[in-house]
Chains A and B, each alone.
Chain A
Amino acid sequence: MAEKKTKKRSSLSERRKRFAWLVPFSDLRITLTLLSLSMILIFVATLEQVRVGIRGAQAEFFESMYGIWHYPIQFWGGEFLNPLPIPIPGGYLLGGLLILNLLAAFITRFQWTGKKMGIQLIHLGIIMLLIGQLATQAMQEESRMQIVKGESKNYLERFHGVELAFIDVTDPKTERVVALPESLLEEGGMHYAKELPFKVKVLEFGPNCEFNSHPPAQKRTGPASKVNRGVIQTASLEIRPKPEDFSSEGMNFGYVVFELLDGAESMGTWAAISHPAGNHWWAKINPKMGDLAFQPIRKNGRLWGATLRPEREYLPYSIELLGITNEFYQGTDIPFNFESEIILKMEEDETRRALVYMNTPLRHGGKTFYQYQMNKSEDYTVFQVVRNPSWLVPYLACVLVSIGLLWQFSFHLIRFLTKASKANLAST
């Protein structure tokens, strides 16, 4: 028995020697510190949620290495402490360190024995949960697909993030798209793609703005003052930059001011605004602004359209909307059922008829299509489309934790019962 114990210990000490560099990370004090910091992070992010909304708090504190927090002015001593920027470790930092700490403990502190297998499985499950959450945050994409009854769609639009797209529609069958992603627009400067017959110089970009009609007699101010071509010029619009609205109901009208150059010669300066619900809404708001969905630019006998639109992802399949059902509880505005009848036109000319309704999404090609919005009067439906390659990981992690708990408790229960029966036998 003693020999067996010594053997186990020697296995552990061998691992500690081999992975000596991991030992400092396995300290239980680190675990406690990280868990305490996580609680502070949750507390701070909850407070900040009131100020910047769920998405803002998530981006600033959970999807980052650190966030800057200002002590609330309403709290005791707030007038003195509020100006101080307090760094708070972010979700990526704490989550990453917790994974490292758990892995290190797993390798350099835990005994790999049947007796402790339950604890090992529980920890493995927690590691998987943490990794799964990190993977979800890194890989999950949320988009929407809006389809009008009788029409087919083969692309998604991101809820957040825009692109400046130049679309050559000269060919009647196919269009060529050259899209500058938001990160390049934020960067500004000159951009060139071999497919484009001009260079694009991004002069200004903002995630949100206000716009209004401007009296033509007065000189425009702000970003639109540089514009001399396109719909901002003809509709005489003025743009006033605004900070991004992170609240769940926030409508962000991204804008970009850009100059096109043919060699060194300027072709003019345009501006574009992105409608958060899709650029087809512009024409409905004001016919003069309809061209924000397609500002014509002609070059070398080809017609290009410029537009700032929600970032698009094209799919190798399409969805046709056959009909929608929109039911409410009698005498109320409370939805009873939103239902979209669709035909999924798959890659190899196969089709599938399906009903998408609340809690019954359509799954295809690694994406899940949830019923999101609907407009009966205008006959269109909107699906929320989620791609999360790591969606199975939390389920597997929970299974592992459950098995571990079951194992650990069963092990102790059996040992206790064996001991008790032995004691009973001895007493009789």
Chain B
Amino acid sequence: MSSPSRVRSHLFAWLATMGAWLLIGCGEDEEIRSYTADNHYDGPVVTWKLPEQWGENPGMSGMMAGSFHVRTSHGPRGRIGVMPFREEVKTTQIVNMFARELGHPDYNMTTIQPLIKNKKLGNRKFEVIRLEDKQGEESPPRTALLAIYRQDRQTWMFPFIADRDLINSELNRFFSFLESTTLRAGKEPVRAVAPRIPRPSAGTAAHQPTWEVPEHWKQKPATQIRIGNYEVSNSEGKALDFSITSFPGTVGGLLANVNRWLEQVNISKTDEAGLSQYLSDRTIDEKPGKLVMAESDTQALYAAIIYHQGRSWFLKLMGDVSLAQTEKENFLGLVDSFCLGDH
């Protein structure tokens, strides 16, 4: 039989072992590592210091290196962008892209000269061009202020699009922003493509909605009801109809509108509970909107709805289901580009 001291000795030994094991088990916690290394990043470097009064647009597309707005008491206004181009781009090429949309004639190297103002910011020289809308009836007119900088055979473009008064009041901040930028060309080509100013609609209201439309969508004349009117077709003779309409009020409400459209594509009507299978939320022009996606065996209906300031806006694509599925991404791109023109 074991003596008490021997039992104690055994107990102590085993406890000590377990303790030691426990200590070994509790290894040192890893920490955040910070170090410097040779810079192997070969993409373009574009950075800036944003003025406090400006905010960043989170839904920026991959083409833009940066997209901002001005914070005002009426909410976000204007659009400021940073666009790197992969190669040297002529000033006329850039300016004409905006000029056409603003009702200006195409510029050539001679006619553009009076518009170009050279602005030295720090050690860098920017070309600054101002274009005001000549076809709209807005007051103050929609204006594009374009700053262009060239370095290492690459071109950087900073468009500021807003109404004239906002541009004038933000001018100093815009120049400070340009001065704060760090611009370094990358070894790899950047993914930016030529910019497009949002196309104005055929409407004549003071605040005009704008949208970007795929090039292969055929524009049809606007009607009294249709602000936007397009046709999409393919070589097999299949076709889609796209329209942008706006009405005061809610036009009978969401359920009534969806049911009307469902009938048009041979889908039986639904009730409030069944509505969710066709609906999803989507932010359109920084406003809460709804997407309606419905497909029957032969027909499809994709629509976006915005209720804003007592009006309803409908963007509706309807027609052959297989073509609609092909054009879905283009439709969603158009929805994302849609701007009510109220800021």
Contact = CB atoms under 8 A, between A and B. Distances in A.
Given A21-B12, A96-B21, A234-B61, A217 B280 contact: yes
B25 A234 contact: no
Interface residues of A, number: 57
A169 B39 contact: yes
A65 B30 CA distance: 20
Contacts of B39: 169, 171-175
A355 interface: no
B62 interface: yes
B67 to A, nearest CB: 12
A218 B291 CA distance: 9
A195 B34 contact: yes
A301 B47 contact: yes
A310 to B, nearest CB: 14
Interface stretch (A176-184, A341-349, A393-401, A407-415): A176-184
Contact of B43 (A96, A178, A294): A294
Interface string B31-59: 11111111111010111110000000011
Query: Is chain B's interface secondary structure helix, strand, loop, or mixed overall?
Result: mixed
A65 B34 contact: no
Contact of B17 (A92, A97, A180, A287): A97
A172 B302 CA distance: 48
Contacts of A167: 41
Contacts of B36: 174-177
A175 B40 contact: yes
Interface in A176-202: 176-184, 191, 193, 195
21 contacts: A169-B43, A172-B184, A175-B40, A175-B41, A178-B33, A179-B32, A179-B33, A181-B32, A191-B32, A193-B32, A216-B329, A216-B332, A217-B280, A217-B291, A219-B281, A233-B59, A298-B47, A298-B66, A301-B180, A305-B41, A314-B37
Query: Lowest 4 CB-CB distances: which A-B pairs, in order?
Result: A169-B41, A181-B30, A175-B39, A24-B10
A21 B293 CA distance: 78
A268 B14 contact: no
Nearest to A180: B32
Interface in B1-36: 9-10, 12-14, 16-17, 21, 24-25, 29-36
B150 interface: no
A226 interface: no
B282 interface: yes
A25 interface: yes
Interface of A: 20-25, 65, 92-93, 96-97, 100, 154-155, 163, 167, 169-184, 191, 193, 195, 215-219, 228-229, 233-234, 268, 287-288, 291, 294, 296, 298, 300-303, 305, 314
Contacts of A184: 30-32
Given A20-B9, A23-B9, A300 B21 contact: no
A172 B185 CA distance: 11
B182 interface: yes
Nearest to A300: B49
B38 A173 contact: yes
Given A24-B9, A65-B21, A93-B21, A155 B41 contact: no
Nearest to A195: B34
Nearest to B43: A294
B336 to A, nearest CB: 8
B58 A229 contact: yes
Contacts of A65: 21, 25
Interface in B318-343: 328-329, 332
B50 to A, nearest CB: 8
B34 A176 contact: yes
B35 A314 contact: yes
Contacts of A174: 36-39
Contacts of B62: 234, 288, 291
A215 B331 CA distance: 12
A68 B201 CA distance: 68
A96 B65 CA distance: 57
B170 to A, nearest CB: 19
B47 A303 contact: yes
B332 A217 contact: yes
Nearest to B293: A217
A302 B280 contact: no
A22 B33 contact: no
A314 B46 CA distance: 27
B13 A21 contact: yes
Given A21-B12, A100-B17, A155 B37 contact: yes
Nearest to B39: A175
Nearest to A287: B191
A182 B332 CA distance: 37
Contacts of A216: 329, 332
Contact of A24 (B14, B46, B280, B291): B14
B66 to A, nearest CB: 7
Contacts of A303: 45-47, 182
B33 A181 contact: yes
B45 A228 contact: no
Nearest to B11: A24
A175 B38 contact: yes
Nearest to B82: A298
Contacts of A92: 21, 24-25
A296 B10 CA distance: 62
Nearest to A228: B58
Contacts of B180: 301
Contacts of B48: 298, 301
A163 B43 CA distance: 22
Given A169-B39, A172-B39, A301-B180, A25 B13 contact: yes
A172 B44 CA distance: 11
Contacts of A296: 65
Q: Which of A167, A217, A288, A296 has the most CB of B within 10 A?
A: A217
Contacts of A300: 49
A305 B46 CA distance: 12
Contacts of B12: 21
B141 to A, nearest CB: 32
A220 to B, nearest CB: 10
Given A175-B40, A228-B58, A218 B280 contact: yes
A227 B62 CA distance: 16
Nearest to A97: B17
Interface string B230-264: 00000000000000000000000000000000000
Contacts of A178: 32-34
A300 B181 CA distance: 10
Contacts of A195: 34
